[in-house]
């Protein structure tokens, strides 16, 4: 496909690579239907360029290095990349989990990330377990001052809150700072006055194809790196099967025909937010226009 004409999507920032993988050899990838190329030039300067129709590097794109990743935009972002205060704390363990590609709209992935009801069924004995299937009342809202979606006061019973850890009621806060970035704050089991942060950066490749990278900022000096990676990747692959089998692959913004349950609140708010923004890329409504 070709570069989207969706201004709302074009003007966002997207993580496209882990900084450690940005080297002298230029790497080609695709963002919002547009081929781009990135790499490190002389003086260690990192650049991202569009690749034009003849296969040559074209316009230089804006870049940022944030949260261990290289970010870029195909448009003119009206704001900086979201701020994560926890990332500035020096004692944090940063775990970059590795990109995984998925045949679905990136927005489906965000919606799946926000959904707690699936934990006991899709991540049995990790993030949930029967019979603890109830999603207690939580709040979800569009925060107008920052233009983000937040879900607060979320609780759920988890048999393994951290890798190989004990189970219990976990306290979660969800945040969607931009349409293709989603994260959760989790009350840290080992120091309850602090929050672990688990983010998911999504690179929308095409309307129905994306790659996603979980990045975690944890308070954890106990778990091994490999245990943390495995924990997150196993969960991620379990979700991948689900989102790749949802139909349509593109996210419908119109309310679902069936009455949403209490557990769907975040999804309803997220879809409403996208609709208000006028985002079309990766949505069932926008997808139809493009065909």
Using CB under 5 A as the binding rule, whether residue 264 contacts Fe ion is answered as no
Q: In Å, how far are 6, 50, 55, 240 from 109, measured between CA atoms?
A: 20, 26, 31, 8
3-state secondary structure the chain: CCCCCCHHHHCCCEEEEEHHHCCCCCEEEEECCEEEEEEECHHHCEEEEEECCCCCEEEEECEEEECCEEEECCCCCCCCCCCCHHHHCCCCEEEECCCEEECCCHHHHHHHHHCCCCHHHHCECCCECCCCCCCCCCEEEEECCCCEEEEEEEEEEECCCCCCCCCEEEEEEEEEEECCEEEEEEECCCCCCCEEEEEEEEEEEECCEEEEEEEEEECCCCCCHHHHHHHHHHHHHHHHHHHHCCCCCCECCCCCCCCCCHHHHHHHHHHHHHHHHCCCCCEHHHHHHHC
Whole-angstrom distance, CA of residue 199 vs CA of residue 193: 20
Q: Which of 239, 273, 283, 284 touches Fe ion by CB under 5 A? A: 239
Using CB under 8 A as the binding rule, whether residue 134 contacts other proteins is answered as no
Count of residues that bind other proteins according to CB under 8 A: 23
Nearer to Fe ion, 232 or 239 (CB): 239
Q: Which does 69 bind (CB under 5 to 8 A by kind): other proteins, Fe ion, none?
A: none
Q: Which does 96 bind (CB under 5 to 8 A by kind): other proteins, Fe ion, none?
A: other proteins
Using CB under 8 A as the binding rule, whether residue 268 contacts other proteins is answered as no
Min CB(274)–other proteins separation in Å: 26
Min CB(96)–other proteins separation in Å: 7
Q: Which of 229, 251, 253, 284 touches other proteins by CB under 8 A? A: 229
Q: Which of 7, 94, 241, 268 touches other proteins by CB under 8 A? A: 241
Q: Which of 25, 225, 257, 259 touches other proteins by CB under 8 A? A: 225
Backbone angles phi, psi at 132, to 5 degrees: -80, 70
Min CB(229)–other proteins separation in Å: 6
Count of residues that bind Fe ion according to CB under 5 A: 1
Using CB under 8 A as the binding rule, whether residue 270 contacts other proteins is answered as no
- The number of beta carbons lying within 10 Å of the beta carbon of residue 154 is 23
Nearer to other proteins, 164 or 191 (CB): 164
**Contact stretch for Fe ion (CB under 5 A) within 85-93, 173-181, 187-195, 234-242:** 234-242
**Contact stretch for other proteins (CB under 8 A) within 55-63, 100-108, 111-119, 165-173:** 100-108
**Contact stretch for other proteins (CB under 8 A) within 83-91, 215-223, 238-246, 252-260:** 238-246
Q: Which residues of this chain interact with Fe ion, rule CB under 5 A?
A: 239
Footprint of other proteins (CB under 8 A): 18, 96-101, 103, 124, 211, 225-227, 229-230, 233-234, 237-238, 240-241, 244-245
């Amino acid at each position: 496909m070709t570069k989207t004409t969706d201004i709302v999507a074009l003007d966002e920032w997207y993580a496209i690579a882990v900084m450690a993988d940005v080297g002298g050899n230029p790497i080609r990838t695709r963002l919002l239907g547009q081929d781009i190329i990135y790499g490190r030039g002389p003086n260690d300067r990192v650049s991202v360029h569009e690749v034009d129709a003849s296969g040559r590097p074209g316009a230089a794109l804006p870049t940022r290095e944030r949260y261990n990743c290289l970010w870029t935009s195909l448009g003119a972002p009206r704001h900086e990349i979201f701020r994560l205060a926890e990332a500035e704390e020096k004692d944090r363990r940063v775990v970059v989990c590795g990109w995984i590609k998925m045949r679905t709209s990136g927005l489906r992935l965000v919606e799946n990330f926000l959904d707690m009801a699936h934990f006991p069924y899709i991540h049995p004995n990790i993030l949930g377990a029967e019979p603890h299937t109830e999603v207690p009342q939580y709040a979800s809202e569009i925060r107008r001052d920052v233009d983000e979606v937040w879900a607060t006061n979320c609780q759920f019973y988890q048999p393994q809150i951290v890798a190989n850890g004990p189970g219990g009621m976990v306290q979660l806060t969800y945040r969607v700072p931009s349409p293709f970035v989603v994260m959760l704050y989790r009350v840290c089991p080992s120091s309850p006055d602090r929050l672990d942060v688990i983010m998911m950066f999504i690179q929308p490749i095409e309307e129905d194809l994306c790659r996603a990278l979980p990045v975690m900022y944890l308070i954890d000096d106990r778990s091994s790196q490999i245990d943390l990676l495995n924990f997150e990747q196993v969960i991620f692959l379990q979700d991948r099967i689900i989102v790749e089998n949802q139909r349509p692959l593109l996210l419908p913004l119109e309310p679902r025909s069936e009455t949403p349950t209490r557990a769907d609140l975040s999804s309803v708010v997220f879809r409403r937010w996208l609709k208000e923004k006028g985002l079309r890329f990766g949505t069932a409504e926008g997808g139809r226009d493009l065909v």
